[in-house]
């Protein structure tokens, strides 16, 4: 399951960590995280349990506390600029979300309580949700404001990181694109077997968008011919979904892998067509 809402009230912690790991290009099932973290329906998942689960996936998850909202914002921004997602426990420490991007004064959250999951909020909205009001143990009239964040920091160099944007978040929030969001990690896993992350050493490479400009019609024609009949609009949408995921993670195709990419993407699209439209025996004796 990719970018998907939680099925119950207590599993927000495992979903938040799953979404953070996905942003780092690390695949993890929320069921696996729930088991490692020992989440329980009566109590949910606390930061120590999530920290243990993060370590299982070779990530550290420190707790950073600030008492001033601007100090908290600066600390959060420091990690976001490095492409490191942060878990926040909002609504008086009742619900975990993942912050993945700041752009133009807006923050992109992955909130598994929201049907669309990807959520866009202003700093004022985030601040009001994030703050925890704690009563002084000795002076009951005094309250402290706490801003805790938990960046998910990979111990090893990751292959790629997601580059979400407000435009991409709005696109994925649309009802007609929920299927792409739900199978996001499956799209990414398939593409990682065909394309590679762009690096400073990448030479003679081109984007998936350029690949589709060159070969999209041929691939659709071949799948349509072999399969007998496909919905070309739906097939085109699958290729465009691949394009969005590849661009989000900066995946490119090397010149020497172009033919391999044609075969790989054609095979994936053929399997999709057979699953969606059914398939009769191809050769019979």
- 53-88 pLDDT, tens digit each: 999 999 999 999 999 999 999 999 999 999 999 999
pLDDT digits (tens, 9 = 90+) for 138-171: 666 667 899 999 999 999 988 889 999 999 999 9
pLDDT digits (tens, 9 = 90+) for 2-14: 898 998 888 999 9
For residue 106, what are its two tokens? 């807006």
DSSP alpha helices (H): ranges in 24-86? 30-37, 47-56, 69-80
Residue whose token pair is 């969606």: 276
pLDDT of residue 1: 64
In the chain, the domains with their CATH numbers are: 12-154 (3.90.70.10), 183-277 (no CATH)
145 CA to centre of own chain: 30
More confident residue, 284 or 246: 246
Hey, which bits of the chain come out as E strands?
59-60, 64-66, 86-89, 95-103, 106-110, 118-122, 132-135, 143-151, 153-154, 196-197, 205-207, 251-254
Q: What are phi and psi of 133, to 5 degrees?
A: -95, 115
Q: Percentage of residues in the chain with pLDDT exceeding 90?
A: 77
pTM of the model: 0.90
DSSP alpha helices (H): ranges in 81-194? 90-93, 123-130, 166-173, 178-182, 184-192
In degrees, rounded to 5, the angle at the alpha carbon of residue 62 between the alpha carbons of residues 122 and 144 is 60
For all residues of the chain together, what is the average pLDDT? 92
For residue 159, what are its two tokens? 């292959």
CB count in 10 Å sphere of residue 262: 18
pLDDT of residue 139: 61
């Amino acid at each position: 399951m990719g970018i998907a809402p939680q099925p119950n009230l207590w599993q927000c912690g495992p979903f938040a960590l799953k979404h953070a790991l996905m942003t780092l290009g690390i695949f993890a099932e929320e069921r696996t995280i729930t088991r490692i973290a020992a989440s329980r329906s009566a109590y949910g998942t606390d930061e120590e349990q999530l920290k243990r689960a993060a370590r299982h996936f070779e990530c550290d998850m420190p707790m950073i506390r600030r008492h001033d909202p601007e100090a908290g914002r600066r600390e959060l921004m420091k990690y976001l600029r490095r492409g490191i997602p942060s878990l926040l426990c909002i609504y008086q420490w009742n619900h975990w979300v993942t912050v993945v991007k700041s752009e133009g004064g807006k923050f992109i959250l992955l909130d598994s309580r929201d049907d669309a999951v990807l959520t866009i909020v202003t700093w004022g909205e985030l601040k009001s949700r994030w703050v925890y009001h704690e009563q002084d143990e000795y002076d009951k009239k005094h309250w402290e404001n706490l801003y805790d964040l938990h960046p998910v920091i990979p111990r090893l160099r990751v292959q790629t990181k997601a580059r979400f944007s407000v435009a991409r978040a709005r696109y994925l929030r649309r009802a007609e694109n929920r299927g792409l969001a739900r199978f996001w990690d499956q799209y990414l896993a398939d593409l990682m077997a065909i394309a590679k992350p762009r690096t400073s050493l990448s030479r003679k490479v081109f984007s998936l968008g350029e690949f589709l400009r060159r070969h999209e019609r041929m691939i659709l024609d071949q799948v349509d011919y072999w399969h007998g009949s496909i919905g070309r609009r739906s097939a085109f949408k699958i290729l465009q979904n691949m394009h969005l995921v590849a661009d989000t993670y900066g995946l490119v195709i090397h010149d020497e892998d172009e033919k391999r990419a044609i075969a790989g993407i054609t095979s994936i699209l053929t399997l999709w067509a057979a699953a969606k439209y059914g398939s009769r025996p191809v050769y019979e004796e």
